[in-house]
Amino acid sequence: MEILSVNGPHRLTGDVTVRGAKNSILKLMAATLLAPGRSVISNVPRILDVSIMTELLRRLGCEIDYDPEAGVIDIDVPEEPGIQADYELVRAMRASICVLGPLTGRMRAAHVAMPGGDAIGSRGLDMHQAGLEAMGASAHLDHGYFIAEAPDGLTGAEIHLPFPSVGATENLLMAATLADGTTIIDNAAKEPEIIDICLMLQAMGAQISGIGTKTLTIEGVDRLHPVKHRVVGDRIVAGSWAFAAAITGGDITVRGIDPQLLPHVFEHLRAAGAEVSVLSGSADTEGLVAGIAAANEHGAQDMGFRVIGPQRPHSIRVATLPFPGFPTDLQPFAVALNAIADGVGLLTENLFEARWRFVHELARLGAEITIDGNHALVTGVDSLSGAEVEASDIRAGAALVIAGLAAEGRTEVSEVDHIDRGYEGFVEQLQSLGADVQRVDKPEPFDIDSLA
């Protein structure tokens, strides 16, 4: 096991470039199961979750050539892929459930182990199940597996989601592309990653309208074909660097991302006293769907933004909401900012009830935080102090490292495999920005049995 050793305080300055979104690439990889043959995906981030999904697809019978340095993955899907995704891999990553839709849609059956992944709260599969059943499948849980079967194929249906779930939208969208007839998904998620998968499915021959709105209409087709596709930039990684600049009083330019993907993040950073400027060449006048399509076709090298942090940020009020609201994945960074801000900040978490686990670790650094239900009241302190902390999920881990860079002394962050799942070259990029961060071997834990 390894830890990240962080010495602070350190001001981060320089340029970083983000690649494709973790929350998109995994679903795009699953979508290739809809079409036999060789699909090529570019702008792929070099993260652990891509390796996990690669192994999952291989076990389903796909042949994969992955070049992590070039950020390109070739996926050759067989005529008859397997239908069972085992617990061994699925437990490591919740996104593995996204093979459910394409396998049910194309192979008329899927046996997917109940997912694991980050400890940020319960995320049931009720909406996935109800949607597939509306399209004619039988769906149930059996010995830890979600079983979906549609021997006669899926049929179009009208589906209303009680909540705009990203995962349910993606699974039902993919399943509907090969269903017989028209499927309407109402109250669908509108995240950029949903737009990205819709654009890829369209390129594969799917008939989808309403992209970027809360109502998706899918006309089922008989067959889809392989495709070449570029992954949309990772707005969560980009937002992480934006907050890193504000928290450390730094100056960071982030490239490879369309600023349109972070609408409410910038306004909160400005409220905290940061200077935010958009780089020329961004697609901010084209509209979100057109901007993502343009970036997919031509790249996003000229897109990006710059954040100059204040000497000490002002406290901010943040409530997480589905897109275009403030992303729940950036909530830990907003908490960390408020921890060292001037004033009292209020955070409201509307999506994942267990995401507050992070604040108990931040409190070890000296943060003053009171939790009341889904609210966190954060009283800013003059300075944090280094301590040993543990990452409970991807974003919490990264936020603890950034908080450590604003703290006095040494902070040690354990369970860093979480960070590796979502951030490409995190330590190396921090070092390029001037951070004193090292990945070191974790000492052997104390053996309590030795006292017996």
pLDDT confidence tier of residue 445, bands split at 50, 70 and 90: low
Cβ atoms of 47 and 286 within 8 Å: the answer is no
Quick: pLDDT tens for 273-301: 999 999 866 555 568 898 899 888 888 88
| pLDDT confidence of residue 132 | 95
Q: How far is the C-alpha of 28 from the C-alpha of 425, rounded, in Å?
A: 22
HSE toward the beta carbon, residue 176, CA cutoff 13 A:
30
CA 12 to chain centroid: 23
| pLDDT confidence of residue 14 | 98
Angle between helices 100-107 and 126-134 (to 10 degrees): 20
Count of CB atoms situated within 10 Å of the CB of 210: 15
* Binding site, annotated residues for UDP-N-acetyl-alpha-D-glucosamine: 94, 329, 351
**248 phi and psi angles, rounded to 5 deg:** -95, 5
| pLDDT confidence of residue 85 | 87
**134 phi and psi angles, rounded to 5 deg:** -65, -30
Strand pairing report for 344-348 and 317-319: parallel
Which residues 6+ apart lie within 8 Å of 19 measured at CB? 43, 44, 45, 46, 71, 231, 233, 234, 256, 424
* Binding site, annotated residues for phosphoenolpyruvate: 22-23
- 162 prior amide bond cis, ω within 30: no
Q: Positive or negative CA dihedral for 297, 298, 301, 305?
A: negative
β-bridge partners, 74: 40, 65
Count of CB atoms situated within 10 Å of the CB of 296: 20
Q: How far is the C-alpha of 166 from the C-alpha of 34, rounded, in Å?
A: 19
The first and second tokens of residue 271, run together, are 């409220």
Three-state DSSP class for residue 356: helix
Cβ atoms of 432 and 16 within 8 Å: the answer is yes
| pLDDT confidence of residue 126 | 87
**Residue (of 237, 292, 214, 229) closest to 74 by Cα position:** 229
Active site residues: 118
The first and second tokens of residue 433, run together, are 């920005």
- 9 prior amide bond cis, ω within 30: yes
Q: How far is the C-alpha of 75 from the C-alpha of 81, rounded, in Å?
A: 12
Quick: pLDDT tens for 336-380: 999 999 999 999 998 876 668 889 999 999 999 999 989 999 999
Asked if the model's pLDDT at residue 122 lies above 50, the reply is no
Q: How far is the C-alpha of 247 from the C-alpha of 273, rounded, in Å?
A: 11
Quick: pLDDT tens for 246-258: 999 999 999 999 9
The first and second tokens of residue 93, run together, are 């990553």
pLDDT confidence tier of residue 144, bands split at 50, 70 and 90: confident
Sequence length of the chain is: 452
Q: How far is the C-alpha of 188 from the C-alpha of 162, rounded, in Å?
A: 9
DSSP string, 31-76: HGGGSSEEEEEES----HHHHHHHHHHHHTT-EEEEETTTTEEEEE
Sole residue written with tokens 């943060």: 367
Quick: pLDDT tens for 50-106: 999 999 999 999 999 999 999 999 999 999 999 998 887 777 777 788 999 999 999
Count of CB atoms situated within 10 Å of the CB of 452: 5
Ordered structural domains, the chain, with CATH: 2-18+233-441 (3.65.10.10), 22-219 (3.65.10.10)
β-bridge partners, 149: 109, 138
